Structure 1
């Protein structure tokens, strides 16, 4: 049935893809303006597919790499899901409602040491950021692959191993934001959420499939997730430790890898309260979860979801809930981190280090 529906929707996908192809053609030929920034490198991290490719942890890896090299990066996002508009620099007083859950997570992850800015107009946002933050030596654009008004110095394209762009279709028949040909703009393609034991032969096959659409010389790298121990996030979780039976709360696009990790780590998931990506939790939803929680059980969630659980409107609802989040970090396979660093190094020569 799903395959039949895909075929029925293909004419609409072709129409949508055609409109986007025309838009990209105008940008490629300079008939629509695209701004480049010469003073600092602009690094873009994005995807062709709607949601769930692992942008946030890869952005965190990139920011950490830049800081380790002595750079002062800044993050710029449109702030998806926020209830504000315009340019806004994240502060300790912000919430997911004011800047979006992912920018809030990034701001807290780096302890405020990395400027995090949200702006729908990324051209104006970068310009204002560079004026207000003269120490910034690199700007990382989060989820800006289709934002052609900015011409990044380096374009990172992410695609999942289990849902690669080369097997998908453009909306509404599939989940692609534009056609597979969009991979031509990538300077590197990272295949994410890989099986850590992915064989060399499998990597070769995936690389060949990617290069049917990307430029032939573009490197194809592979990454997986490493999961850390549960971190107290809310309620009476501090000083406690999760038992073997847990309740999972997610509002992300792809919770499957998290559930697989929990099963492998020996947790038994008594219930999974699953919501759409970027879902704004309500007191009623948290109350329903609390009513199902039995003695000895704790709530496990993601770091991004934990950011939304800290909304002031939810303070009373989560006050008595033992909530932990599972941190994730990116690990590259087959020395992919070394290869990516070699691609990025020319943009940050030693004399530019501050």
Structure 2
């Protein structure tokens, strides 16, 4: 933690009081939460930054899409449109946001929509002729105006919320006690070799309530790079690679490429970065300065949907959530909630 962040600690205390007061008012129903008949699964976190929400949403889509009509509702961070919008053939990363556009491109049989007002978004979905059977709310753990039917809280293995501080000293959006609203806690980005004993110790540290279950997942990278063409990762060992990232935490990807003996130059940009002409000029200059004519530009899937029309020979590496253990238990909890809620509604 930087000295500057430590100096801001009094503001963290104030921010904690404000968010705790807000949560308390929701808990005692002074502030209103709306509950919907349609099953709603909230995926979110307590902290800012990347905890793996996108691959977790994609995991839920794959789990449910064969049995239910699935909708994903996001606020569409940094989009250039307003209000409620359903993704269609005219959608772009600029119009609906990079993550929703990624969902739309990957999954043909789901509804992808955006609305900063989640209540309005759900009402609009419920009014559709082909209305969804289940709605996945992306990054809505702090959106208390909607009472989610099932809450999944994510926390990164190397940045557990239990060890963090409130903004601006740390990265927490609300106090650790907010974790009590979760039905499931998922520790993401774990080493794939995490032992049962280590999982047990981490679960004790998180100190879940009696009704909560803790799961552990790792990142699974696809060895086939997609985009301009399909290339196996092993084929670029002797290739000049320029890696571009505009995500919160690129460290796991950097480590993975190093483990695969991929030599690369890295241009790091802020999360959800909007690439401008100066950025594109810098990228092209880096590629032009490679000694070898055999070179590619590599990026993440989330970045790819923003810049695939702007950079030549661009490829992306996709990721999936992989449960280290108890995958079936997780799946059953989700399916049981959706089945039960569908019957009740």
With the shorter chain as reference, the TM-score category is: over 0.9
Partner of 1:35: 34
Say whether 1:253 aligns with 2:251: no
Matches within 5 A, 1:254-333: 254-269=249-264, 271-293=265-287, 294=290, 295-310=293-308, 315=309, 317-318=310-311, 321-333=312-324
| Unmatched runs of 5 consecutive residues or more in structure 1 | none
Conserved? CA contact 1:230–1:324, under 8 Å: no
Query: Take 1:243 and 1:343, find their aligned partners in 2: how far apart are those partners?
Result: 41
Output one character per residue of 1:316-350: Cα deviation in whole Å (capped at 9) or x when no partner. Answer: x42xx211100101110122x21112222322339
The structure-2 alpha-carbon separation of the partners of 1:278 and 1:239, relative to structure 1 and needing over 3 Å to count, comes to closer
The structure-2 alpha-carbon separation of the partners of 1:21 and 1:351, relative to structure 1 and needing over 3 Å to count, comes to closer
Partner of 1:190: 186
Query: Take 1:64 and 1:345, find their aligned partners in 2: how far apart are those partners?
Result: 12
Q: Tell me which of 72, 81, 96 is aligned to 2:93.
A: 96
Partner of 1:228: 222
Query: Take 2:157 and 2:46, find their aligned partners in 1: how far apart are those partners?
Result: 14
Conserved? CA contact 1:243–1:296, under 8 Å: no
Partner of 2:236: 243
Deviates more, 1:18-27 or 1:8-17: 8-17
The structure-2 alpha-carbon separation of the partners of 1:216 and 1:3, relative to structure 1 and needing over 3 Å to count, comes to farther
Partner of 2:145: 149
Query: Take 1:197 and 1:280, find their aligned partners in 2: how far apart are those partners?
Result: 36
Conserved? CA contact 2:125–2:131, under 8 Å: no
Aligned pairs, how many? 335
Say whether 1:340 aligns with 2:330: yes
CA deviation after TM superposition for structure 1 residue 133, in Å: 4.7
Matches within 5 A, 1:204-219: 204-211=200-207, 214-219=208-213
Say whether 1:349 aligns with 2:344: no
Output one character per residue of 1:204-233: Cα deviation in whole Å (capped at 9) or x when no partner. Answer: 11111111xx42331010000110024332
Output one character per residue of 1:127-172: Cα deviation in whole Å (capped at 9) or x when no partner. Answer: 0111115341000000000000000110000000000000100100
Query: Take 1:202 and 1:333, find their aligned partners in 2: how far apart are those partners?
Result: 12
Partner of 1:51: 49
Partner of 2:25: 26
Query: Take 2:162 and 2:261, find their aligned partners in 1: how far apart are those partners?
Result: 35
* SS of alignment partner, residue 116 of structure 1: strand
Output one character per residue of 1:160-189: Cα deviation in whole Å (capped at 9) or x when no partner. Answer: 000000010010000111111110100000
Conserved? CA contact 2:65–2:110, under 8 Å: no
With the length of structure 2 as denominator, give the TM-score of the two structures. 0.93
* SS of alignment partner, residue 132 of structure 1: coil
With the length of structure 1 as denominator, give the TM-score of the two structures. 0.91
Say whether 1:78 aligns with 2:75: yes
Query: Take 2:105 and 2:50, find their aligned partners in 1: how far apart are those partners?
Result: 21
Query: Take 1:340 and 1:158, find their aligned partners in 2: how far apart are those partners?
Result: 14
Query: Take 2:147 and 2:342, find their aligned partners in 1: how far apart are those partners?
Result: 21
Runs of 4+ in 1 over 6 A off after TM superposition: none
| Unmatched runs of 5 consecutive residues or more in structure 2 | none
Partner of 1:105: 102
Pairwise CA RMSD: 1.7
Deviates more, 1:19-28 or 1:339-348: 339-348
Output one character per residue of 1:84-130: Cα deviation in whole Å (capped at 9) or x when no partner. Answer: 1100001121111100000000111103x210010010001100111
